[in-house]
Amino acid sequence: MRRHLLGSIVVLLLCTALCSAQEMQQGGKFGAGFVIGEPTGIAWKYRINQINAVDGAIGFSPYNAYRVHVDYLWQSYPFSEQNLAMHYGIGAAFGSAGTAYSNRSGVLFRDQELGFGVRGVIGLNYLIRNSPVDLFFELAPLIVLTPNSASGIDLGFGARVYF
């Protein structure tokens, strides 16, 4: 069910992008689209100015865990390609994770816990020429603070359409 919903959203966003590409060169400040990876779901970005932005995603992770994250980003343009930018920043992640365990008699129990963590993020962003669509790749080290401390790395690839 989730995959069908995500697929429908992706097709709708790409059709919107293709239909409006002739009218909009770079779109507006707000972009919405999809991300595949950790988490897989809906991604968004608000460009405050040429240097700063806020982005985030809401989706699901493996093992039916739901995730939301929001990041504050700084963007730089160190490449000769003007439409290719690098971004880095810091953010917060919230989510629920399912924990499975069994008792002595072998009965399997499942528990859902709400967690909070902080993450750093670094990535690349490519704005497709003559289009309001960008492609992005992110790598984000994550430190989970509650309910149990842990660490991990989020990886994501996606696209957004700017309005």
Residue with the bigger pLDDT between 85 and 26: it is 85
Q: What is the pLDDT of residues 106-150, one digit of tens each?
A: 655 556 678 899 999 999 999 999 999 999 999 999 998 988 788
What is the pTM (predicted TM-score) of this model?
0.77
pLDDT of residue 24: 43
The CATH class that applies to domain 2-162 reads mainly beta
pLDDT of residue 6: 52
Quote the mean pLDDT of the chain: 83
Taken in order 43, 98, 3, 142, is the CA torsion positive or negative? positive
What are the extents of the domains in the chain? 2-162
Coil, strand or helix at 94: strand
